[in-house]
Amino acid sequence: MEGHKYEDVESIKNFLLAKTTYRPTVGVICGSGLGGLVKNITDPYSIDYKDIPNFPVSTVAGHAGKLVFGKLSGKIVVCLQGRFHFYEGHSMHKCSLPVRVMASLGIKSIVVTNAAGGVNRNFKVGDIMVIKDHIGFPLMAGINPLIGLNDDRFGPRFPSMTNVYDPDFQKKAIEISKKLGYGDFTQNGVYCMLSGPNYESQAELKLVQTVGGDAVGMSTVPEVVVAKHMGLRVLGISLVTNYCIMDYGTDEAPNHAEVLEVGKQRSECILNIVTHFIEGLE
């Protein structure tokens, strides 16, 4: 299995740098229903994924499929409006390629958002969870974006995942959320990734709960692992869009329409947190 080739990443980077005068310092990845984050970007320059050579294409409802450059809170940002998932048939390397590209464009920090199911029984639909740590089941089973030859120009062969979500960033995001009046529905917890695309069975959710997962989703972890490998500081935010059903004898079931609806209702809050957070970055 081949890892990312430095020359391929450089060629995408050079293509993008030739298209725009923007030189971003912050990256943002928008999760399901959270693409509205880009509406605060001023003087945007956007390019469709399909027009970027060797870039993957997003196929999921709620993911626009554009790379957007511009200004946000006085900083130059690059925003992935719609991400790539392993369940779409992309390899883990392909899913995380945009993070390699964003890092090679010169970003130092990345904000990663996602829609997730609430496993923690104290979480409610609509809660915002600042991610403290993650569990990546597919990665633990050997489906990892760092598998293959390592190029030291990207990062070390054996990168540490201690404090993968920057503790200072977590603290700042939680403080901002409280100041904005969102304290009652802001949580701090562990995001657990399963591959999807099916939602989890009751027994799988109980396993996630047992190993310490607070929220569960189908993305984020491969991107964050690559971000850490490239030396980026990471802030992760999950929006709890559905309540995970663990009891038997119920006909309730999660669905993607519900996920997008909650995303619409609360995305404004996440947008405000991210905008203030980026403003405070050095």
Phi-psi region of 91 (alpha: psi -120 to 50; beta: other; left: phi over 0): beta
The active-site residue, picked from 88, 129, 165, 193, is 88
Q: Catalytic annotation on 215?
A: no
d(CA 7, CA 71): 28
Nearest to 78 by CA among 13, 32, 11: 13
The active-site residue, picked from 85, 93, 134, 229, is 85
Q: Catalytic annotation on 87?
A: yes
Q: Catalytic annotation on 85?
A: yes
d(CA 242, CA 180): 23
How many other CB atoms are there within 10 angstroms of residue 35's CB atom?
23
The active-site residue, picked from 87, 161, 195, 258, is 87
d(CA 153, CA 150): 9
Q: Catalytic annotation on 93?
A: no
The active-site residue, picked from 4, 40, 49, 63, is 63
Q: Catalytic annotation on 256?
A: yes
State the DSSP string of 210-253: HTT-SEEESSSHHHHHHHHHTT-EEEEEEEEEEE----SS----
The active-site residue, picked from 256, 261, 272, 276, is 256
Q: Catalytic annotation on 90?
A: no
* First CA to last CA distance, the chain: 38
The active-site residue, picked from 109, 114, 238, 242, is 242
The active-site residue, picked from 32, 96, 109, 120, is 32
The active-site residue, picked from 103, 218, 227, 230, is 218
Q: Catalytic annotation on 32?
A: yes
- Asked if residue 97 lies in contact with residue 9, where contact means CB atoms within 8 angstroms, the answer is yes
The active-site residue, picked from 92, 102, 103, 115, is 115
How many other CB atoms are there within 10 angstroms of residue 232's CB atom?
20
The active-site residue, picked from 40, 120, 177, 219, is 219
Nearest to 27 by CA among 72, 93, 59: 72
Catalytic residues: 32, 63, 85, 87-88, 115, 218-219, 242, 256
